[in-house]
Amino acid sequence: MNNHTYVAIMAGGVGSRFWPASREARPKQFLDVMNTGKSLIRLTFERFLALCPPENIFIVTNKIYRDQVREHLPELTDNQILCEPSRNNTAPCIAYTALKLYALDPEANLIVAPSDHVILSEIQFIDTLKQGLKFTAENDALLTLGIRPTRPDTGYGYIRYEQNGDSEVKKVRQFTEKPVLERAREFLAQGDYLWNAGIFVWRVKTLLDAFQKNAREIYDILSAGQSKYNTNEEQDFIDTNYPRTPSISVDYAIMEKADNIYTIPSSFGWSDLGTWASLHSETEKDEQGNRISGAKIITHDTHNSLIRIRPDKLAVIGGLDDFIVVDEGDVLLIYPKNREQEIKALTAKVRENYGPEYL
């Protein structure tokens, strides 16, 4: 293993599209949604042990989830858990991580990845990251993994890349936000578009140079505490100054502005697992196309549905096709799978009628 390889796992989100299983107090990264006996954050952590030792893996999360990170990843020291006092999107959290790691190791070569993605071919995933790490170690490059699209999906952003040349690492031409269906079909037909997976590789020095050039306000605020990182003064500095940073994604702040952006077109069974429908799509189903989680479930004339029932409850379900059924004890969700985009909006009605108790 390369001692200069580090991983930062972003684990501060709420996962509101996975409501009612994912709640403000215990979001989806801490849930066993894959029925493996392990949470998503645990699976992600273990996946990266093939690239670096556990002491080189850092978690970036919200302060309110510090204890849950410790519960799921007891191998980590307190210094490996970066606690944000506010949710300011991905650019500030990545800048904070880069500054902290630069103070530890100026030669750090860093992978940044979300805590709640599914990777079905882990060997291929690790091999792809090794290619990326080699490239960023030798070049001043900001690299993002792009996924070869298998369908015209409107839920992902897209990366357009230059197809010329034999290298597996490609120059990025442009980023495109989530398209309408017709545009997504055009992207697939053109053959030079990839899904944006939100998984990055870069040397921290190259990354900090990009922040200085393209997102100076974030850099100036957080670099003022350079001498405090990895000391007892770090959290106080972050608590005071981090909320002052602009709330902006790293794509907008850095990736869409810089001219040294590269990608590796990849296929390793990736899903961002952003919704119940994606969980149903990416995981094993029975002969009726149902993805069932629960100990006592009887189905009749039920097809293409995701059913998640508490293990202590008997559920008898019939006559459903293409539905989501999620029982969390205090909340029962029954909703057409092809209308799941409405669920997030409906949680606003839950809050309006019943307060934050069920969110």
Q: Rounded to two decimals, what is the model's pTM? A: 0.92
Q: Cis (ω within 30 of 0) for the bond into 311?
A: no
Q: What percent of the chain has pLDDT over 70?
A: 99
Q: What percent of the chain has pLDDT over 90?
A: 77
Inform me whether the pLDDT recorded for 35 exceeds 90.
Answer: no
Residue 1: which pLDDT band, with cuts at 50, 70 and 90?
Answer: low
Inform me whether the pLDDT recorded for 269 exceeds 70.
Answer: yes
Inform me whether the pLDDT recorded for 6 exceeds 60.
Answer: yes
> 116-129: buried (b, 16+ CB within 10 Å) or exposed (e) per residue?
bbbbeeeeebbebb
Residue 14: which pLDDT band, with cuts at 50, 70 and 90?
Answer: confident
Please state the length of the chain. 359
Stretch 272-292: mean pLDDT? 88
Stretch 282-288: mean pLDDT? 89
Report residue 317: phi and psi, to 5°: -130, 125
Residue 292: which pLDDT band, with cuts at 50, 70 and 90?
Answer: very high
Strand, helix or coil at 276? helix
Handedness of CA 98, 133, 111, 246 (dihedral sign): positive
Stretch 305-329: mean pLDDT? 95
> What class, spelled out in words, does domain 5-271 have in CATH?
alpha beta
Show the beta-strand stretches assigned E in the chain: 5-10, 57-62, 81-84, 109-114, 118-119, 142-147, 158-161, 170-176, 193-203, 261-266, 270-271, 291-293, 296-300, 306-308, 314-318, 323-327, 332-336
Inform me whether the pLDDT recorded for 49 exceeds 70.
Answer: yes
* Average pLDDT over the chain, rounded to an integer: 93
Q: Are 121 and 130 in contact (CB under 8 A)?
A: no
Alpha-carbon gap, residue 250 to 269, rounded angstroms: 24
Query: Looking at residue 85, what is its pLDDT?
Result: 96
Query: Looking at residue 33, what is its pLDDT?
Result: 87
- State how beta strands 170-176 and 158-161 pair: antiparallel
Stretch 229-246: mean pLDDT? 97
All CATH 3.90.550.10 domain ranges in the chain, comma separated? 5-271
Show the beta-strand stretches assigned E in 36-181: 57-62, 81-84, 109-114, 118-119, 142-147, 158-161, 170-176
Stretch 310-314: mean pLDDT? 93
Inform me whether the pLDDT recorded for 165 exceeds 80.
Answer: no
